[in-house]
Homo-oligomer: A and B are copies of this chain.
Amino acid sequence: MKPYVVGIDIGGTNTVFGIVDARGVVIASSSIKTLKHADFNDYLEDLYEGVMRLLVAHDAVDKIHGIGIGAPNANYYTGMVERLANIPWPTPLPLAKMVSDKFGIPVAITNDANAAAIGEMTYGAARGMKNFIMITLGTGVGSGIVINGQLVYGHDGFAGELGHFIVKRNNGRLCGCGRTGCLEAYCSATGVARTAREFLEIRTEPSLLRNIPIDAITSKDVYDAAVNGDKIAKEIFEYTGNLLGEAFADFVTFSSPEAIILFGGLSKSGDLLLRPLRESMERNMMYMFKDKVKVILSELKEADAAVLGASALGWEAKPDNAAAPAPMV
């Protein structure tokens, strides 16, 4: 077996990629701007150059077992990206086949939260766990579900959209998916900022957050204010943690996981978020699951996590689509 895999994480701003060995050591990594080119073929050319430069520099050109890619709405079964919210490439896009044809290396793709779950299982906090749920609290809320040691893709490859679990059935906030009341509209970084605006408008108490133009408030501002003892900011975290805990208690009735693992910017809020989250989860938990389910933080270094998660999928890539290697430009 070839000793390395390549992990590629396609985000709305940056595409990060790296060479990873079987122990999960990131040998080298680099990145390109995802949106530098509007045309996908130009982007692919850029990506190819960037990855090949790394491979040549580390004497790894013929040592890549597979390429794993994490990308929004990427489908593991079909190798297609079905829909892109913030990237102008035409969809459905046969991402796995196009990258595989370009590199002459087998490619497997999945969405970013699933990649994070695979990374956590292979190299992080979920090592040895057969049943857990990964929740990514970033700009949106993503999820990757592992049952019996396997990533859950479902019938169509799109399972694990727990960010779009309805937490407010009535008068819920509009979500990017077009519905109202989704977990993501409340408990993502942008959801926390929306809560801040809502609280500041409804209430009259003083708050450090009132020094910031209301439309410019970010979840980081709320965190900073809470750390400085701001009452409204702390209540925003209580509110967010409470909703997450309610949702997690419902998730547990589904798959009874050993742990729910948090990843992403908001998860770094520490006990400001974790204490109300755990309290709410236990308060809402069905008796048979009480005091059993751990809520823990990712153990992957954030700088490496996206690449590591995607790369772990590279070990699963099968050479179905692999064509002859394209010449290096």
Contacts and interface: CB of A to CB of B under 8 A. Distances in A.
Contacts of A73: 288
Contact of A257 (B154, B161, B249): B154
B254 A162 contact: yes
Contacts of A166: 246, 249-250, 284
B159 A255 contact: yes
A287 B254 contact: no
Interface of A is mostly: loop
Oligomer: number of copies: 2
Contacts of A169: 167, 169, 246
Contacts of A286: 161, 164, 177, 179
Nearest to A82: B288
A23 interface: no
A96 interface: no
A254 B255 contact: yes
B165 A250 contact: yes
Interface size class of A (residues with CB under 8 A): 35 or more
Contacts of A147: 147-148, 150, 152, 154, 159
A115 B80 CA distance: 36
A160 interface: yes
Nearest to A286: B164
A14 interface: no
Given A154-B147, A156-B256, A246-B169, A161 B288 contact: yes
B178 A287 contact: yes
A37 interface: no
Interface string A198-226: 00000000000000000000000000000
The 9 closest A-B pairs by CB, nearest first: A154-B256, A159-B256, A155-B258, A161-B253, A131-B155, A164-B286, A159-B255, A158-B256, A254-B254
Given A147-B152, A147-B159, 13 more contacts: A73-B288, A83-B288, A148-B150, A152-B254, A155-B256, A158-B256, A158-B288, A158-B289, A161-B289, A165-B253, A167-B169, A169-B169, A169-B246
